[in-house]
Amino acid sequence: MNMARFNKVQVISTMSATGMVPVFYHADVETAKLVVKACYAGGVRAFEFTNRGEFAHEVFGELSKFVAKECPDLILGVGSIVDAPTASLYIQLGANFLVGPLFNPDVAKVANRRLVPYTPGCGSVSEVGFAQESGCDLCKVFPGDVLGPNFVKGLKAPMPWSLLMVTGGVKPEEANLKSWFDAGVTCVGMGSNLFPKEVIAAKEWTTITGLCNNALGIIKTIKK
């Protein structure tokens, strides 16, 4: 029986405080470990490993053990969760939070039973409402590049209590990040822009540390 190392409050407050969750998948365990460690060195404290490829859960299991030992303050969660059995599998492997591209009430039940935060992907105001009703404190605006900052602004006017994370269309640039945080997001999820393919291929881990550090710095300035 595995138990999350961080509770719900710690997870959401860490995401809110740092303002950024890197989103990453790699089939090779060693590469995944080095990427996570590079992000940790850059100040990242919440990291989403996506359930994307063959045997992704096996990579995650190894990563989970590594993080507990090597990055003690890092909150490791899992993304691309669409059903309850997969959610259970990852909670068993030490996932501290679950993220999905869609909202599935069955996942909310599994997550709530184990007091693990679930951030579902929502593309409408009603979906965010249904997710909140099911105990999802932080909802993911997805796809962000389709919905845009105006969606966030529009939703927060009648529902100002909403905590929103946006993924898709987020860039580690001041103008882009400012548009999202000014609209009212709690945090952003960032993928490919933090992990350029050529950087991973060349194993330039310090570049990733720098990209994370830079993005977190921009967010800190914007949120002041």
Asked, for residue 55, whether it belongs to a domain, the answer is yes
- Percent of the residues in the chain that have a pLDDT greater than 90, as a whole number: 98
Q: Is residue 209 part of a domain?
A: yes
Q: Which amino acid is at 6?
A: F
Q: What is the pLDDT of residue 144?
A: 96
Q: How high is the pLDDT of residue 156?
A: 98
Note the pTM of the prediction, 2 decimals. 0.97
What is the identity of the amino acid at 97? Answer: F
Residue 77 lies in a domain: yes
Element at 77 (helix H, strand E): strand 75-79
In a domain, 1, yes or no: no
Question: Which tokens sit at 98?
Answer: 């679950």
Q: Establish if 47 belongs to a structural domain.
A: yes
Domain that holds residue 177: 8-217
pLDDT in tens, 53-78: 999 999 999 999 999 999 999 999 99
The single-letter DSSP state of residue 4 is -
User: Token match 């669409």: residue?
Assistant: 82
Give the pLDDT score at 1.
61
CA distances from 47 to 50, 137, 195 (A): 10, 18, 13
- Domain of residue 42, CATH code: 3.20.20.70
Do the domain assignments include residue 51? yes
Residue 59 located in a structural domain: yes
What's the mean per-residue pLDDT of the chain? 97
Whether the per-residue pLDDT at 21 is higher than 70: the answer is yes
Tell whether the model's pLDDT for residue 43 goes beyond 70.
Answer: yes
The tens digit of pLDDT for each residue in 144-187 reads 999 999 999 999 999 999 999 999 999 999 999 999 999 999 99
Average pLDDT over residues 104-128: 98
Burial bucket for residue 214 (CB in 10 Å: 0-12, 13-18, 19+): middle
Residue 222 in domain = no
On the question of pLDDT at 118 being above 70, the answer is: yes
Total domains present in the chain = 1
Query: Which is nearest to 110 in space by CA: 101, 121, 97, 123?
Result: 97
User: What's the pLDDT at 24?
Assistant: 98
Cα separation of 152 and 60, whole Å? 31
